[in-house]
A = this chain, B = another copy of it.
Amino acid sequence: MAFKSLSQPRIRLADQVYDQIMQAIRDGSISTEDRIVQEKLADEFEISRTPIREALFRMEQEGILELAGRGGFRIRKLDEAEIAEMYGARSAIEGSAARMLAEAGDKATCAALRARITRAEDMTENTVQAYFDANRSIHRAIVEATRNRFLLEFFDNIWNRGSSFTLFASIQFVDLSKSLGDHMSLIDAIETGDGWAAAEKMILHIHDGKELQMRGL
């Protein structure tokens, strides 16, 4: 049997709607001021409200949207306390990931991560968005390397949240080459095999990002 299964697992409208709205939030077509109304979206997409509702509720549950009484949904804004907690959660997840990788002590994984970092650093365009994507993809690769689906899910949850698109990315204040170099020394720490040291390094790295972020507010 050389045929690929034709059964398309699911091409639900709700999924497509989800992706598109997500994209719209990312590129700023939907701002934090905008009200997000089911009927409006249904009109735009030229489908019924049902799949829209589904996508919207999903985003609410993920903490990306919040509902504003009868005024529909809106993008969830994070206050300063919540942003701090976010960085705390990142420390927990990504710090633990670093620890686990160090304890696992797999050279091949480290090599792969290094390659990944080099590739991510090699940005063609020098925009905030590009830097954000590169940074995210590096951090994600580290969590991914633990092969722990839960951690990866939590990682994505955090990074998708609210306006975190712009969060974590106050590039205007950051020395690009330094930041990216930091990632390599993160792998160094992992490679030594000392779990706690690796975790600490990661936590400090995230803390640096937080300082930068907070200064930008």
In the complex, the answer to whether A82 meets B151 with C-beta atoms within 8 Å is no
In the complex, the answer to whether A88 meets B57 with C-beta atoms within 8 Å is no
Asked if A22 is at the interface of the complex by the 8 Å CB criterion, the answer is no
Nearest-neighbour CB distance to chain B for A74, whole angstroms, equals 16
Partner of A149, one of B57, B82, B100: B82
Interface string of A184-209 (1 = CB under 8 A from B): 00000000000010000000000000
Nearest-neighbour CB distance to chain B for A89, whole angstroms, equals 4
Secondary structure dominating the interface of A: helix
A95-B96, A196-B196 known; A85-B149 Cβ under 8 A: yes
* Complex Cα–Cα for A61 and B57 (A): 11
In the complex, the answer to whether B148 meets A88 with C-beta atoms within 8 Å is yes
Asked if A91 is at the interface of the complex by the 8 Å CB criterion, the answer is yes
Instruction: Quickly give the copy total for this chain.
Output: 2
Instruction: Please give, as numbers and ranges, the residues of chain B lying within 8 Å of A158 by CB-CB distance.
Output: 150
Partner of A151, one of B54, B62, B92: B92
Closest residue of chain B to A86, judged by CB? B150
Interface string of A52-90 (1 = CB under 8 A from B): 011001100110000000000000000000100110110
Nearest-neighbour CB distance to chain B for A209, whole angstroms, equals 16
Instruction: Please give, as numbers and ranges, the residues of chain B lying within 8 Å of A86 by CB-CB distance.
Output: 150
Identify the A interface with B (CB < 8 A).
53-54, 57-58, 61-62, 82, 85-86, 88-89, 91-93, 95-97, 100, 146-151, 154, 157-158, 196
| A-B complex: 10 closest residue pairs judged by Cβ atoms | A92-B96, A89-B150, A85-B148, A88-B148, A154-B154, A196-B196, A85-B150, A89-B151, A85-B149, A92-B92
Give 17 A-B contacts (CB < 8 Å), ordered by A residue: A54-B57, A58-B61, A61-B61, A61-B62, A82-B149, A85-B149, A85-B151, A88-B148, A88-B150, A89-B154, A92-B93, A92-B148, A93-B93, A96-B96, A150-B158, A154-B154, A196-B196
